[in-house]
Structures are given as C-alpha cells and as structure tokens.
Amino acid sequence: MKTGASTSCLFPMLTEQSLDRLLALGVKNIEVFFNSPSECDKQFVREMKAAADAAGAKIISSHPYTSEMEGVCFFGSYSRRFDDEAKAYGRYFEACRQLGGDIFVLHGARSFIKLERDFYFERFCRLREYAATFGVRLLQENVARCHSGSLDFIRDMKAAIPDVEFVLDVKQSIRAGIDPFLMLDTMGKNLAHLHLSDHSADCDCLAPGDGDFDLEGFAKALKAADYKGHVMLELYSWHFDGEQKIADGIKLFDKFWK
C-alpha cells in the first residue's frame, strides 16, 4: 500500500499547478483529475509526466471532470452515443497511460436514470474492454448520487462481473449513509483503489486527523483484507486550511499503516 493525493484536493487551482504543489509537498503518488479537454493534449500530458518524473513521483490514476455525464454517455438506450462517447473517452485513456498510470475512475449513471442492472453491467464491460486496449483498467467507484452508491449494487456487480475492480471513496460512503468499514467488507478482494478523507458530524469531507473517523482501525481493516492498492487523499480545498494538511494527512495514515 502506498499513500498519495489527487490534484483535485487543490481545485480550482489549475491542474498542472496543483500537480506542482503536491510535488513540492513531497507527495510521491498522484491521481490526476482532468478538469478541461485541453488537459488531455499530448504536450500538456508530457509536461505533467516530466514534472512528476523529475520529482521522483508516480502518477497512478486519473479521474475525469465529465463524470456527471457518464449516465447519458454510456448507459442510455441510444447505441450510437455509446460508441461515440467511448471514442471521446479514449482521449482520457490515452492520457492516463501516457502519464504512466493504469487506473481510470468511473462514476457511472446517476440513480435517477432508470435502467436494469444487467444492462449497466454489460455497458460497463464494453467500456472496460475499450479502456484495456489503451492499457488502462476501468474501475467502478461508489458514489452516493449514482447507482453505485448502494451496497446491493456493489454486491450485484461483483456477482455479474467477478473480476470487477472497485474504488472505495470514504466520503461518498458517508454521504450514502453507509459505514465505510461495511463498504470495504462488501467490496472485499475486488477493492483496487481508495479515496481517503476524514469526517465529522458536521462535515463529510475533512483532512485526515481533522475529524472523527477511525483511521487507525480503517488501516488495520485494509491490512486484514490484504489490500495492495493505493490510498489517495481526495479532499475539497475549502474544507481544510493550508496545503500542508495534505502532506500531514499522508504521514498520519502511513503511520497507522506501519
């Protein structure tokens, strides 16, 4: 297990500037959150990769700003739209691999979109197969406002796609009213990536150490589950005071892990 942070922690700072700030803090494992189409341009991506390489850091994963559109793009009944939008996501997949990462985070369809789960799973597999042609793994994240926010959806997806890989987002679990320990147990061996944050009764997303979450117990639960993926801090800049909170949060969780 290695701990890092997402460039989204410093949003709305420009993505390349966020990357530079994380590298200056000594963060060695990075998730890049693409916030604009031009950020997939090859020269832009080359420059981010060069900055990470120069700092001895690795870009592990990517996340698209277009997550809110994925229900319409990939899980609707209009077949041509799926084909066209999959090609559009190919730019993300190519950029992800060029950065050196192989994990791409998918939110999927919002829960207000009515669809059969078998249909969802079939579409997910088609998109996953396309991502694989770029050397990228498509992972399903639990998101409170999406179909993926419920435990029974996660269970059904595991049953339908035994080798599915999940992203566990702690704050999204809290928003859905689900104990993150229970979400961890439900994802089980299919958990491949983690978005970490702390929380309290007043705020569902805080820097590690600023809330009431049993971080030490969660680290132990991950160990017990033989988790071997990365742990990425994914925070909101307006919920913590000062960039040092990111570095301190990584150190705190590393201490509990060790």
Question: What tens-digit pLDDT sequence spans the chain (258 residues)?
Answer: 799 999 999 999 999 999 999 999 999 999 999 999 999 999 999 999 999 999 999 999 999 999 999 999 999 999 899 999 999 999 999 999 999 999 999 999 999 999 999 999 999 999 999 999 999 999 999 999 999 999 999 999 999 999 999 999 999 999 999 999 999 999 999 999 999 999 999 999 999 999 999 999 999 999 999 999 999 999 999 999 999 999 999 999 999 988
Q: How many domains does the chain have?
A: 1
CA distance 14 to 40: 14
Question: Which of 26, 96, 11, 4 lies closest to 244 in space, CA to CA?
Answer: 26
- Measured CA to CA, the distance from residue 4 to residue 193 in angstroms comes to 11
CATH of the domain at 16: 3.20.20.150
Which of 49, 27, 6 is CA-nearest to residue 197? 6
Torsional sign, CA 249, 11, 241, 149: negative
Alpha helices in the chain (DSSP H): 15-24, 42-54, 70-74, 79-99, 117-132, 151-160, 170-175, 180-187, 215-224, 244-257
Residue 145's SS3 state is: coil
What residues make up the domain containing 98?
Answer: 2-257
